[in-house]
Chains A and B, each alone.
Chain A
Amino acid sequence: MIDFVQNTVDGIMFGSSYALLAIGFTIIFGVMRRINLSFGATIMLGAYIGTWLHVQHQVSVWIVALTTLTSTVLVGIYVERLCFHAIRRSAVLASMVSSFVIWMQLEEAAIHLLPERTYAFPALLAAGSFELGPFLFRAEQTSMLVLAMIMVGALHILLYRTRFGLALRAVSESSLAAAYMGINAAWVTLCAFALVSLMGGVAGYAILSTDAQITPFFGLWATFKGLIAMMLGGMGSLPGAILGGLLLGVVEAHALWYLGNEYKDLSAYLLLFGMLVLRPGGLMGQRILSREALAFRRV
């Protein structure tokens, strides 16, 4: 029983980072109805630039964190301009493939910066742990959970209490209607991209600090974990992204403990496939309309 609770706690801690990645996917999907495959690679290149400064010039940890965030935002804007703004809205597939080839490009750029397989990642906090009753908490994981809660809170205020948030939600609802109301959809999209990249940068920094190392596989990992968590929760839903991330974390933690390392990813994909087959809309998403309803709407 103690193991079960401890695993669940660990899962929630780790799941909070999945949730942050999933929020990035869900906002971009909401605003653009398109998917950005290079999201993970964007974060990775940002973190690589920060680590490169640390390795080459031994700058302080704070500068690494700051560089990671700014370069992630800049790379994110580059992706938005090239893969989404330049390609017309109806060409969903072209945007997706374009973001995929740019992923490969960013990954190669990162490997050029730091050609070794792994590098130590400079963490902001020293590793440590504390005990609460029978349960063990790792300091860096706990701080990640706290960070995730702060970011979700800030995002909530931004989305529901500011004019920019209102504009962003309006564009998500219907970009055409938003344009009629005088909202510059292209500008909102660019800002959303920068915002999401910033959040991705923070999430990436927190995850890499917990791992204490950075490898070229991080881009793929971040993209997939974010995508899975978003789909579990329901596309375009903010609470869904958080719930999906936590669920993914908890399921992976239990699979790792009870079944072993080979089954950790397998259980995540099994959960996703099962969810899509049985409840395609995810936990919090809208139900997919039945065909009859679609036909009726058209008539």
Chain B
Amino acid sequence: MDDYVITVLSNIGMISFIALSAYLLLLTGEISFGQQAYFGLSAYAAGAATAMFQMPIWAGILVGACAAGIIAMVVGALTLQLSGLYFSVATLAFAEMARLILLIVEIQVEVDGEMVGPEGANGFHGIRWMFERDISLTEFMLLIYGLLALTLISLLLVERSRLGSVLRMLGSDDLLAEMQGLNTVRYRILAVGAAGVIAGVGGALYAHFTTYVEPQFFNVMLGVHALAYGLIGGLGTAFGPLIGVAIDVGFLEAIRFIQGYRMIVFGGLVAILLIFMPRGILDEERVHRLKAVFSRRNHARA
């Protein structure tokens, strides 16, 4: 594979993390405009860990994901009372605050005679772990997809478990869930925190893939795209957001020849898709039907 294909595939992989993160919250019925904040904060934290403090990459990813998860839980606790548009706008406000603060922050340390660290609006240069260790693009792509597979499997397992049903119940009627004796506060903070961790893993990988991060990348466009992926692909299964990302990145790459008219075509197509499939391609109903087809086939074989 040439570098171009690997880069596109790696981008699909890394963006998938933030799409899955937004999807997890959509399951609980909350629309977040702010998942890009956890992606960005983790990119900075993980970059700082490896570039400024010479930690290995696994520690960097761990630091980034934990930082994102903890911050997400704090934001989740503060916004517990909010739902619907109030929650969406609160997450948006938080994410923009985080981005604007990163535009101001300047902390640099000297590493091997060079100043390394976040440099305000100039971004954070020199996260060179990949080059220092001589890791090829292909190897890094395998790392991305390995972690993505791990995340996806965990999400699929959660969806099959009792926890998955509880989360969907919070999404369809949280008052009823509370009357059933469920601790909705605990589950909501858990979901918000887990979504933060997932976005954080993606952000940590992103920082090391590009070697350079700047606050401008984590603007609200990234967050709204992440939401759109889940909705295009479908809210019935964790594969949905991945289909959404593949359609967006893959389709936009494929129609490069109509450069300049891509969003006009793509935007129109998605708008029409949403008229006919308001909960995405793989919505709950279709997932259910597909499962029935598969289980019947298995029965026939046995």
- Report A's interface with B, CB cutoff 8 A: 29, 35, 37, 82-83, 86-88, 91, 93-94, 96-98, 100-102, 104-105, 107-109, 112, 224, 227-228, 231, 235, 262, 265-266, 269-270, 272-273, 276-277, 280, 288, 291, 294-295, 298
Contact = CB atoms under 8 A, between A and B. Distances in A.
Contact of A96 (B31, B175, B261): B31
B82 interface: yes
For B79, B90, B96, B271, the residue with the greatest tally of chain A CB atoms inside 10 Å of its CB is B271
Closest 9 CB pairs of A and B: A105-B267, A91-B278, A94-B278, A108-B263, A273-B93, A101-B267, A276-B90, A266-B100, A272-B93
For A87, A96, A228, the residue with the greatest tally of chain B CB atoms inside 10 Å of its CB is A96
Contact of A269 (B82, B93, B274): B93
Interface of B: 26, 31, 78-79, 81-82, 85-86, 89-90, 93-94, 96-97, 100-101, 103-104, 175, 178-179, 220, 224, 227-228, 231-232, 260-264, 266-268, 270-271, 274-275, 278-279
Given A96-B31, A101-B267, A276-B90, A269 B100 contact: yes
A96 B33 CA distance: 11
A100 B224 contact: yes
A87 B86 contact: no
A82 B264 CA distance: 14
Given A104-B267, A277-B79, A295-B175, A98 B97 contact: no
Contact of A94 (B94, B263, B279): B279
B132 to A, nearest CB: 33
A104 B252 CA distance: 13
29 contacts: A82-B275, A88-B278, A91-B274, A91-B279, A93-B26, A93-B278, A93-B279, A94-B278, A97-B228, A97-B274, A98-B270, A100-B224, A100-B227, A101-B271, A105-B263, A228-B93, A231-B86, A235-B86, A266-B101, A266-B104, A276-B93, A280-B82, A288-B81, A288-B82, A288-B86, A291-B175, A291-B178, A295-B179, A298-B175
Contacts of A91: 274, 278-279
Given A97-B274, A100-B224, A235-B85, A266 B97 contact: yes
A37 B219 CA distance: 15
Nearest to B101: A266
A93 to B, nearest CB: 6
Nearest to A235: B85
Nearest to B98: A269
Contact of A280 (B86, B232, B266): B86
Contacts of A269: 93-94, 96-97, 100
Contact of A105 (B78, B90, B93, B268): B268
B148 to A, nearest CB: 23
Contacts of A235: 85-86
A227 B179 CA distance: 34
B89 A272 contact: yes
Contacts of B224: 37, 97, 100
Contacts of A262: 100, 103-104
Given A87-B275, A98-B271, A273 B94 contact: yes
Contact of A101 (B31, B103, B228): B228
A117 to B, nearest CB: 16
A291 to B, nearest CB: 7
A277 B26 CA distance: 21
B218 to A, nearest CB: 14
A234 to B, nearest CB: 10
Contacts of B93: 228, 269-270, 272-273, 276
Given A231-B89, A269-B100, A108 B264 contact: yes
Contacts of A272: 89-90, 93
Contacts of B228: 97, 100-101
Contact of A227 (B89, B178, B268): B89
Nearest to A230: B89
A93 B260 contact: no
A270 B92 CA distance: 11
Contacts of B264: 105, 108-109
